[in-house]
Each structure stands twice: as C-alpha cells, then as structure tokens.
Amino acid sequence: MNKKNLCLFYLILGFFGVLEVNAQIGIAVAKDEKGSSLEWNVVWNKGYQTESIAIQNLRDKGYKKVFSLTGGEKRGHKLQSGYWVVVEATHKIYDGTLKTSFGLGASSSSYTEAEERAVSNLSQYDWSWKKSNGYTISKKGTF
C-alpha cells in the first residue's frame, strides 16, 4: 500500500469512528521478532495523520514490524502544543533475554508531567515492564 492510499485508509477509518483521529502527537515503534523495540519515531501536526505518518516513516527505513504507541488523551497525545518526553526501558523477560520498550508522554504544562505520562504509556504497551525495572529519558522537546 503506497503512502497516499495508507493516508486515505486512515482517513476513512477515522470518519467512521474506528480510529481516534484527534491525536496531534503520535509515536510508532519498530520491533524485532521477540517484541523488543528497535527504534521510535514521533510525529506532531495539526491533523489526523500523526500515527500513520510515524508508522510510514519507520517502514520507509525498511522495518517490517511497526506499531503505533499513541496513547490518547490520558497521555497528552491529543494536545496541539506542549512538552513531550520519550522514555526507554530495558529489562529481562521470561526467557532471560533483554527487551527494550518506549513510551511517549505529552503535557501542556511541564516536562515532569510529560515524563509521568510517558511512563504510563510505556506500561500501557509493555505489560512485562515494572517501574522497579527503571527507565531513562530517550529524548524530549516541545511541539
């Protein structure tokens, strides 16, 4: 599916209420065969395409397994502007191998709140991660 058709597909899904189309900031991650995240891409714009653009940017780099981590209003992903933080966590999983995961948080008021929301986003998509495993800030900025 080319980029134009993918955007049209997401537009149609959004029109029928299948997708949340109000996200202003979105994140996608590329994963390996064990579910460990390899790379992330954050996109922000005033439109409905943030998730599809973030996904396509990683696919354009040759990644096959790419997923959205956009977390909705609770994690600040529907804001039109503010602070954003991406957190990264690496921990051992059931078979002893290391797994890396990312989370994105955004806030209209502070980096601290954006970081808290990023940790919430991380735990939303990686159920094996616990706060006791720790995390680091991968990158932060404003949008």
- Helix (H) / strand (E) containing 9: helix 3-15
Tell me if the pTM is above 0.85. Answer: no
pLDDT tens sequence across 9-35: 444 444 444 444 455 888 999 999 888
- In the predicted model, residues of the chain with pLDDT beneath 70 are 1-23, 47-48
For residue 71, give every residue at least 6 positions away whose Cβ sits within 8 Å of its Cβ, in sequence order, or none.
77, 103, 104, 105, 117, 120, 121, 124
Nearest-angstrom CA–CA distance, 51 and 27: 6
How many angstroms separate the CA atoms of 115 and 87, rounded? 7
